[in-house]
Amino acid sequence: MSEQTQERAGILITDLKEIATMAGPPEGPLHGGALGDLEIVQDAAIAIGGGEILAVGPTQDLRERFRASTVVDATGMVATPGLVDPHTHMVYAGSREDEFEERVKGATYLQIASSGGGILSTVRETRKASMNRIVRQSLPRLQRALRHGTTTMEIKSGYGLDADSEEKMLAAIDYLRRLQPIDLVSTFMGAHWLPEEFTNNREGYIRDVIRKQIPRARSMAEFCDVFCEEGVFSPDETREILAAAKDSGMKLKIHADEFKDTGGAALAGSLKAASADHLGAIGPEGIKALRGKGTIAVLLPGTSFYIGLGRYAPARALIEAGVPVALGSDGNPGSCVTDSMQVILSLACLRLRMTPHEALASATRNAAWAIDRGKEAGILEEGRPADVVVWAAPSCKAIPHQFGTNLVHQVYKKGVLVHEEGA
Amino acid sequence: MSEQTQERAGILITDLKEIATMAGPPEGPLHGGALGDLEIVQDAAIAIGGGEILAVGPTQDLRERFRASTVVDATGMVATPGLVDPHTHMVYAGSREDEFEERVKGATYLQIASSGGGILSTVRETRKASMNRIVRQSLPRLQRALRHGTTTMEIKSGYGLDADSEEKMLAAIDYLRRLQPIDLVSTFMGAHWLPEEFTNNREGYIRDVIRKQIPRARSMAEFCDVFCEEGVFSPDETREILAAAKDSGMKLKIHADEFKDTGGAALAGSLKAASADHLGAIGPEGIKALRGKGTIAVLLPGTSFYIGLGRYAPARALIEAGVPVALGSDGNPGSCVTDSMQVILSLACLRLRMTPHEALASATRNAAWAIDRGKEAGILEEGRPADVVVWAAPSCKAIPHQFGTNLVHQVYKKGVLVHEEGA
């Protein structure tokens, strides 16, 4: 093809050993055998223009077809969609490394929490902090997540636990959209824990969430999430709060069956929630309840690992039952202190026994569907936003294989190079 | 102090919240209560000149005392010595992500190894590869380790398993010294595994190691290590090989009691080896045998984690017995695929129940003593080489607290800025 007849591209990334596109019909999250049966393009290139993917295909074809302003030689590397982290608590004030030592010495997560540490210490710090301070402290976390390959991220409120403080958190998330390139999805989570002032008045706090917090959060948050767990919020309380959230126009998520099977997953299925998250203790009934409901099982192996439960969500049983599975970091100040989805990919293989390809699909395409971004994120296909990670790895399988090391070479967000390792 | 009377410095790193210097008498590895009782300088600065530490102290004092060509504002950050990784297998050809999927599906490390995969597949790749190819494939691993904070690293041979190939590996390690800034310490490990051609002739291979390999390795390797384990090399075979190595002028290390307590730690103590490494299965007798022998217990929690044993070395018992403990990555192509000592720090706290300060001391000062670099590395003190990591962390305790995320801001090697995150 002569130069005159070539199409123009902004960027042409060439000579990739592999691209895992995550594409392939039908639209929607991958489940069952399809989760690990990925479209892998060999000796591949990506053409980017106008912030979008123009084409993905063999390097030779794309070299002939496109004339690009910038050609990036990615010899020996691989590419995937930007990672999508569908479950985080990344916005808060303070840090809790002092209680880390207590945990090292044997105190459990719930013991620390019930003695005023844990979540409640972050609530105290977050209530005290100005929105600007919360933004300033949270920004480096998002910058680190980006450097580790995350280009779309959900963030929950839930360290305010009163109408003003929850609104402040949601405003901080909104402000962070302007300061860095990761696309952020907001979730209101006033029902994350019972605040100290309501210790003896559970019913009063649920009224506060429904009557004061939800009306102010509805315009700022796309999802509402509730921590449904023994000692936190019961399935009945969860149902009541989520009914109000749904009436207010929010989509639904549940922290379900993390420590005990309290029927959270079943509730998520019956409400057709967007996702049921954690599921470390989900039983066969819960798995059955999630089938065919459009609810995505968001697994958070980082938390099971970090708090040392020795028990992980039954990923294989969920996949075999045909439930669509996604992976999230659960990045938070106490029970899973990480900003990286890469370490989650390794844990998914090593502890959830997911194959490397299953893990990658669960952290891209399926994770995007878990936060209703399936049409924009988690997939490399013509016309989609060009959110791309180029990895210094010899194959896509080698990404989860490497543990605790950042393998990211470049991150593109909407076609712009937003991070380059060692540059 | 007037400008005329100020001393000159090349670099002054100022306004650090904390510096963990790892200094404090007496010289040697820290043990018992001293391991976690670190000298922490608050509101601190480091003056660097001529590649060495000129001073560590309060920012105000050092600002008055020194006039520096470059002042680095490290407000809100902390500093430690560069991390020392005293146990790696980072130099080899090929990668083994294909067998990773087998492991995910349930095959054990020893099963894969005994069916010709595992170590032996890396041996085949490494024998086949030229020295240049081994260097080219290994260099990115060292570059990643540097970006994650490692400034001194031990590397073992042991994927050659014949005199020519072992020499080629040691030559590759030597060549890598010229290509990147991490100080490398070479260990000969011909007795890493029994090569295929000696399957039915153990005695023959031991003769090969002693008569052919050691005489050629002696001028290239500082240490000799043997994998003393049921099904690999027995304590008697280990003793015989190490006796020959010692006669050749090499210092001694043992892969001891990783899966079974075969008396490897006791042997290390009786030989006054520099270190006994792994120790996942060490018993009370082994711990007793290590006391007061100058042998350092090098713990490798990454491997226990990665292969999913569910059992970790008894770090607390070793510390309480007064045995000096160090941490290493064991970075290798199969049983612990990582280049990062940061993730090892987290695992040391989360799984070995070491405090954050104990973990940091074990990955700096004590790790340096485990490879006989105690006088040069792992400590920030006047006159020592300026190997420094500046961390984007609010305290030293926060470094292990964060899991799977690279928190390194800057790495200095012998006073030269060799890596800066986001720069």
pTM (whole model) above 0.90 = yes
Weakly modelled stretches of chain B, pLDDT under 50: none
Considering only the beta carbons, identify the residue of A336, A350, A405 that sits closest to B340.
A405
Q: DSSP string of A207-260?
A: HIIIIIIHHHHTTT-SEEEEEESTTSB-HHHHHHHHHHHHHTT-EEEEEESSSS
Q: What is the pLDDT of residue B351?
A: 96
Alpha carbon distance B250, B224 (integer Å): 6
Q: What is the pLDDT of residue B2?
A: 60
Alpha carbon distance A152, A373 (integer Å): 9
Averaged pLDDT for residues A166-177: 98
Alpha carbon distance B253, B209 (integer Å): 16
Q: At B15, phi and psi to the nearest 5?
A: 60, 25
Considering only the beta carbons, identify the residue of B148, B350, B351 that sits closest to A405.
B148
User: How far from the centroid of its chain's Cα atoms is residue A292's Cα?
Assistant: 22
Q: Which helix (H) or strand (E) element contains residue A169?
A: helix A163-176
Q: Collect all residues with Cβ–Cβ distance below 8 Å to A35 and sequence separation of at least 6.
A: A319, A324, A325, A357, A358, A361, A362, A366
Strands A416-420 and A40-49, how do they pair? unpaired
B395 to A97: CB separation less than 8 angstroms, yes or no: yes
pLDDT of A1 strictly over 60: no
Considering only the beta carbons, identify the residue of A337, A356, A402 that sits closest to B401.
A337
ipTM over 0.90: yes
Q: What is the pLDDT of residue B114?
A: 72
B351 to A308: CB separation less than 8 angstroms, yes or no: yes
Shortest distance between the Cα of A41 and any Cα of chain B, in A, equals 18
Shortest distance between the Cα of B210 and any Cα of chain A, in A, equals 35
The residue in chain B having the minimum alpha-carbon distance to the alpha carbon of residue A339 is B405
Considering only the beta carbons, identify the residue of A143, A356, A394 that sits closest to B100.
A356
A95 to B140: CB separation less than 8 angstroms, yes or no: no
The residue in chain B having the minimum alpha-carbon distance to the alpha carbon of residue A104 is B353
Shortest distance between the Cα of B61 and any Cα of chain A, in A, equals 28
**Which residues on B lie below 8 Å from A98 (Cβ)?**
397
A403 to B336: CB separation less than 8 angstroms, yes or no: yes
Which domains are seen in chain B, by residue range? 7-82+379-420 (2.30.40.10), 84-370 (3.20.20.140)
Q: What is the pLDDT of residue B423?
A: 54
Considering only the beta carbons, identify the residue of B106, B144, B398 that sits closest to A97.
B398
B338 to A306: CB separation less than 8 angstroms, yes or no: no
**Which residues on A lie below 8 Å from B342 (Cβ)?**
404
Average pLDDT, chain A: 95
B406 to A95: CB separation less than 8 angstroms, yes or no: no
User: How far from the centroid of its chain's Cα atoms is residue A286's Cα?
Assistant: 22
**Which residues on B lie below 8 Å from A406 (Cβ)?**
144, 147-148, 406
Shortest distance between the Cα of B309 and any Cα of chain A, in A, equals 11
CA-nearest of B176, B171, B210 to B190 is B210
Averaged pLDDT for residues A369-381: 97
**CA end-to-end span of chain B:** 34
Structure tokens at A168: 């402040």
**Which residues on B lie below 8 Å from A95 (Cβ)?**
394-395, 398, 401
| B78 half-sphere exposure, CB direction, 13 A CA radius | 18
B105 to A353: CB separation less than 8 angstroms, yes or no: yes
Q: What is the pLDDT of residue A98?
A: 86
**Which residues on B lie below 8 Å from A397 (Cβ)?**
97-98, 100-101
Alpha carbon distance A221, A371 (integer Å): 12
Q: How far is CA A96 from CA A99, A108, B243, B398, in A?
A: 6, 14, 50, 8
Shortest distance between the Cα of A312 and any Cα of chain B, in A, equals 13
Q: What is the pLDDT of residue B25?
A: 77
The residue in chain A having the minimum alpha-carbon distance to the alpha carbon of residue B355 is A101
**Residue-wise pLDDT tens digits, A77-114:** 999 999 999 999 999 999 999 899 888 888 876 778 77
B405 to A340: CB separation less than 8 angstroms, yes or no: yes
A97 to B355: CB separation less than 8 angstroms, yes or no: no
A338 to B397: CB separation less than 8 angstroms, yes or no: no
The residue in chain A having the minimum alpha-carbon distance to the alpha carbon of residue B310 is A310
pLDDT of A300 strictly over 80: yes
Considering only the beta carbons, identify the residue of B143, B351, B405 that sits closest to A338.
B405
Shortest distance between the Cα of B184 and any Cα of chain A, in A, equals 20
Considering only the beta carbons, identify the residue of A97, A392, A421 that sits closest to B401.
A97
Shortest distance between the Cα of B339 and any Cα of chain A, in A, equals 6
Sign of the four-CA dihedral B18, B24, B28, B33? negative
- What is the three-class DSSP state of B32? helix
Length in residues, chain B: 423
Burial class (CB in 10 A: 0-12, 13-18, 19+), A225: buried
**Which residues on B lie below 8 Å from A104 (Cβ)?**
349-350, 353-356
The residue in chain A having the minimum alpha-carbon distance to the alpha carbon of residue B353 is A104
A302 to B355: CB separation less than 8 angstroms, yes or no: no
Shortest distance between the Cα of B214 and any Cα of chain A, in A, equals 32
**Which residues on B lie below 8 Å from A402 (Cβ)?**
337-339
The residue in chain A having the minimum alpha-carbon distance to the alpha carbon of residue B36 is A101
A404 to B343: CB separation less than 8 angstroms, yes or no: yes
pLDDT of A423 strictly over 80: no
What is the count of residue pairs from A and B with beta carbons less than 8 Å apart? 131
pLDDT of A3 strictly over 70: no
Query: What's the CA angle centered on A80, arms A74 and A82, to 5 degrees?
Result: 110
pLDDT of A301 strictly over 70: yes
The residue in chain B having the minimum alpha-carbon distance to the alpha carbon of residue A334 is B401
B97 to A397: CB separation less than 8 angstroms, yes or no: yes
